[in-house]
Amino acid sequence: MDRRHWLKSAALGTGAAAMTAFTEAAFGADGRPDTIAEKASRGTPPLRITDVQTFLTAPANIRLVVVKVLTNEPGLYGLGCATFTQRARAVETAVNTFLKPFLIGKDVTRIEDTWQSVFVSSYWRNGPVLGNALSGVDMALWDILGKRAGLPVYQLLGGKCREAVDTYRHAAGKTFQDVEDQVRKFLAEGYRHVRIQCEVPGLSTYGAGGSKGGATGGPQAQDDIPLNRRVDTWEPAPYVRLVPKLFAHIREKIGDEVELLHDIHERVPPILAIQLVKDVEKFRPYFMEDPFSPEDVGYFKTLRPQTSTPLAMGELFNNPNEWVDLVSGRLIDFIRIHVSQVGGLTMAKKVAALCEFFSVRTAWHGPGDVSPVGHACNVHLDLATPNFGIQEAKLFNQAEQDVFPGCPELKDGYYFATDKPGFGIDFDEKLAAKFPIQDDPPFDMRWGTLRRKDGTIVKP
């Protein structure tokens, strides 16, 4: 009944009870006309969020955070990655204490609206804890949408732009020969792209078997020193002298076919990074990653005119202001965002679209501290993104594959998504509980321990 009919009914002397019921239906209990939002909220959403659960598990000895969103349709739920491995318990609190009560009862199908409202629900925003918490929910809603539609998520994003997702793996070692051997192994397995990292003798070198928590990387053995007081030792100059020689070795021994990548990991002063990126140009890297820290991105304007070496950046980014100018200024070639950190698929697809207009390609962060659910999300996005570049891949161990049935498959260096609805990946909660995260210490303590020989702290 609309206002015109009500007036007609009133004129005809319709009963007082009916008039009251109508007045509340049309104008609300306070008698004032409803807003559009109020009218909409009177209806029962077709599908509502009934619970939000958080799971912490470590089937590969890396703390993973998985969010499960349940609905009022029996058996219909979604999964999302919320992994911020260094602060897993903080993300758990953000989801359980703050997002869950905010989300219960909301319409499952309003993914964008939910993203926008959660984003500002804390007033203060843009950070790895809140970004990952939001991502866990966001990915789960996309997973639910796919399951409801009976379609894989890549179909919801516009469908496949390619049949499979080209990937790269990490070759690392103590010597050039070690690295060469690993590159050959990956080539034999069908990969076309390999990241190369080599230990600088006597220094705890990123990516060359990992930082060592001071156990062997420092000036003396530290096995008897408590974890939180160990020191990793690092000097930038020997590193920037070594890396061009590593590229020269691999090109000389293996040739031009293989695409080579390298991660500087923001570890050197900006001017040394500029020298290094120029020095390796003649070896035609596929990309050089994170030459600067997020605090030093202003240096890209200095670096860009000096070299044609492709540049990749962004795994530490949280805030759109960190990437918009780099992309629109055509100052980088690959965006390396950690999808769960920026709020999940909803934000990542917008980043990809922004990049498309500037011919910047995607290379989403894909290390061990992204859960298999997060890797599946990356793969679905990769399949549907025209300006996809490359995907950092992870080989899932048996425990991960058991806890997360439906992990993306690696064949001949390509990731393949399953064609099941949603992200096509599931989560065995009981089995996950058999791989509890370690809480003592609450993280692996190797971040924030890197120092110059004189004791100065260095970025990781």
Q: Which residues of this protein are in contact with Mg ion, per CB under 5 A? A: 263, 315
User: Which is nearer to Mg ion, 139 or 370 (by Cβ)?
Assistant: 370
Report which secondary-structure segment, H or E, holds 81: strand 77-81
Give min distance, CB of 315 to Mg ion, in A: 5
| Least distance in angstroms from the C-beta of 336 to Mg ion | 7
CB of 316 to Mg ion, least distance (A): 9
Q: What is the largest CA-CA distance in the chain?
A: 97
Structure tokens at 286: 């596929």
Place of tokens 């202001």: 321
| Separation between Cα atoms, residue 450 and residue 43, nearest integer Å | 57
Chain centre to alpha carbon of residue 82: 8
CB of 207 to Mg ion, least distance (A): 8
What are the φ and ψ backbone dihedral angles of 53, each rounded to 5 degrees? Answer: -120, 150
Strands 259-263 and 193-198, bridge-based pairing: parallel
Distance of alpha carbon 460 from alpha carbon 301, whole angstroms: 23
Shortest Cβ 208–Mg ion spacing (Å): 13
Kindly state the smallest distance separating residue 289's Cβ from Mg ion, in Å.
Answer: 5
Q: How far apart are CA 349 and CA 154, in angstroms?
A: 11
Q: Give yes or no for a contact between 377 and 81, defined as CB atoms under 8 angstroms apart.
A: yes
In the bound state with Mg ion, the residue whose beta carbon lies nearer, of 213 and 366, is 366
DSSP 227: G
Which of 315/426 has CB closer to Mg ion? 315
Among 194, 192, 227, 196, smallest CA distance to 209 is for: 196
Could you list the active site residues? 206, 265
Of 180 and 263, which CB lies nearer to Mg ion in the complex structure? 263
d(CA 436, CA 427): 15
Dihedrals φ, ψ of 67, to 5°?
-110, 135
CA–CA distance, 152 with 112 (Å, rounded to integer): 18
H or E segment at 106?
none
Give the angle 214-202-367 at the CA atoms, nearest 5°. 60
Least CB distance to Mg ion at residue 74 (A): 42
Between 92 and 266, CB nearer to Mg ion: 266
Residue nearest to Mg ion (CB): 263
267: tokens are 């570890």
**Complex with Mg ion: residue 69 or 243, whichever CB lies closer:** 243
Pick between residue 236 and residue 406 the one whose CB is nearest to Mg ion.
Answer: 236
